[in-house]
Structure 1
């Protein structure tokens, strides 16, 4: 098949070419949207990532251009209008899991960095400043952690947190019986937030989870608690979180995702004026750590993404069962 790969960085091209199963690939650096959908003419499929847009207008144009398949090289699919795709007859295949440990380990790295302030200590020592002032953290052993979502990534982080001796509660509309058998206690969202020193988000973005962290739920947080988001930016109402940081209700914030990240993440904007006032404000806080959607970014994850993407493409091309197909 002839596949148009959008949001393609150098590392995407490296791994996709390495594990290609004899498909014709054309790489585009820009994210797919209605303004550039004309690029997809004469392609059989498009390969998309988290910031590519596949709403009804784009999907209709894709079908007019002859595209029959969307290959998502990610687990999330909130950027695709599934109902419109079904009506138009375009198939959607995703990578349901790619090294969940990679994202869980990144979440843990953010927790450790914010807590023990190793990023600040590193910069201080390079400047010849060996003071410990303002670098005090807290023990993770016996610390209370709230896991919001216990899918593959939440489950992986649960195992890591257990190793640190944390006390863990979870909220998930679909509790995992295996984790329950291991001793994980599930409770309501309010109950898990109220007493947690660390809250980590690991749920998909749906109509129900949109802005699950907002002005009201932030009031449930223990004063000075830490919030980590390595899932989807729109799980958090950014303006409400900024207000909570300003008041001191929220003590730390770690973001690997951001609600308006498509205009920022994966790009070098170091010589430009950032027009997004919310992220500029977040960057100014000393107790905020932001990374650019790199939680997934390990060799193992990139290999799995490429391999599963091409197994999806092969299944479609050869008329075989497609276990990774997404339907409304």
Structure 2
């Protein structure tokens, strides 16, 4: 089938072409899927989209009118597509759910360690021949109480890593994972209990109506131990302005994130000569108590290969009039 791949990054193309193995007619565009760029999909059977693409109602209606029948997501999260509308319009939709939870969990730990042990600051100082330690004091992770919000695939890997550091692990989710309880001493707690006891909180939740802006002024005000928050999920799970206020007032000790609630059109692009007009983002990336990476947690060789494979598993299934094992609709 004829496939248009939106939001293509140069590093993806060789992997996607290899996984395709010449089966489908591939076309690539670096442009995001939006209402304005939906017309690029005219006369394509299928499209592939990434987490930054917009597959909301009006976009889906345009895609249907342009002849698109299949949508495969190069991501596990699917908050950027209205699945109910997609189903009603007759689309078949699938994602890439298992590409590498290890990549995300390992990046979360790397972020925490980098922030705690002042790695970026240390490098900048040594580059300037400053070898003082006064600004580089961190803390041991052993015996720290760590909250993991969301114990799906990513959260489960994170729990296992944290257990290796000797942390006391609290978790919050809609259901408990008994394997984590038995094997790693995880204690499932309410959001409120976690806010009172955790010294570090990892966000590993999907973005939905329940989790949207979960970390708001009301919830942040419940924190008792000035925790560091690490977000490797979705930016809109937190209210960024409230996070910044909590940093300034000492309610939390740090905010470390790989995501931002208004990252679309910014993350994944070089904006050094076209600086985004976003005061909140400007404040976030320059705050002395933050560490921000540009949604790179998924970016390992293994994960990218798995995403490419899942993308064409989906397309090949549809080509052969079968259901994809990754189907969402």
With normalisation by structure 2, the TM-score equals 0.97
Would you say the 8 A contact 2:141–2:165 is kept in 1? yes
Residue equivalent to 1:37:
38
Post-superposition Cα deviations, 1:59-82, rounded to whole Å, max 9, x if no partner, equal 111111110000001001101011
Residue equivalent to 2:18:
18
Mapping of residues 184-199 of structure 1, within 5 Å = 184-199=186-201
Separation of aligned partners in 2, 1:265 and 1:273:
12
* Runs of 4+ with >4 A deviation: none
Separation of aligned partners in 1, 2:297 and 2:142:
24
Separation of aligned partners in 1, 2:324 and 2:273:
45
Separation of aligned partners in 2, 1:126 and 1:308:
43
Separation of aligned partners in 1, 2:249 and 2:225:
10
1:199 aligned counterpart, secondary structure: strand
Post-superposition Cα deviations, 1:108-138, rounded to whole Å, max 9, x if no partner, equal 0011011111111011001000011121111
Separation of aligned partners in 1, 2:272 and 2:63:
34
Would you say the 8 A contact 2:198–2:225 is kept in 1? no
Separation of aligned partners in 2, 1:110 and 1:43:
40
2:253 aligned counterpart, secondary structure: strand
Would you say the 8 A contact 2:197–2:225 is kept in 1? no
Residue equivalent to 1:150:
151
List runs of 5+ in structure 1 lacking aligned partners: none
Separation of aligned partners in 2, 1:45 and 1:154:
32
Question: Is 149-158 or 283-292 further displaced after alignment?
Answer: 283-292
2:266 corresponds to 1:256: no
Post-superposition Cα deviations, 1:200-224, rounded to whole Å, max 9, x if no partner, equal 0001001001011111111122343
Shift in Å at residue 272 of structure 1?
Answer: 2.5
How many aligned residue pairs are there?
A: 327
Question: Is 217-226 or 273-282 further displaced after alignment?
Answer: 217-226
Residue equivalent to 1:164:
165
Residue equivalent to 2:245:
243
- From 266, 272, 285, the equivalent of 1:270 is 272
1:16 aligned counterpart, secondary structure: helix
Residue equivalent to 2:58:
57
Separation of aligned partners in 1, 2:273 and 2:4:
30
Q: CA RMSD in A?
A: 1.0
